Amino acid sequence: MSSTASKIITTIQEGMIDSIKQIVPIQTDSVDSTFVSKNISLNFAVLVGLTGDIKGKILYKGELSLFGSVGEIMFGMKIEGDMLKSFAGELGNMISGGLCTNLSSKGIVIDITSPTILEGSSTISGFKEAVEIEVYFQNGEKLSIVVMID
Q: Are 99 and 111 in contact (CB under 8 A)?
A: no
Q: Which of 11, 42, 117, 57 is nearest to 19 (CA)?
A: 11
Q: Which domains does the chain have, with CATH numbers?
A: 3-149 (3.40.1550.10)
Q: What percentage of the chain exceeds 70 in pLDDT?
A: 97
> What is the reported pTM?
0.92
Of 141, 18, 134, residue with least CA distance to 73: 141
Mean pLDDT in residue range 3-32? 88
Looking at residue 2, its pLDDT comes to: 61
List b or e across 61-75, with b for residues whose CB sees 16 or more CB atoms inside 10 angstroms: bbeeebbbbbbbebe
For the CA atoms of 33, 37, 43, 46, the dihedral, rounded to the nearest 10 degrees, stands at: 70
Average pLDDT over residues 87-107: 96
- Does the pLDDT value for residue 5 go beyond 70? no
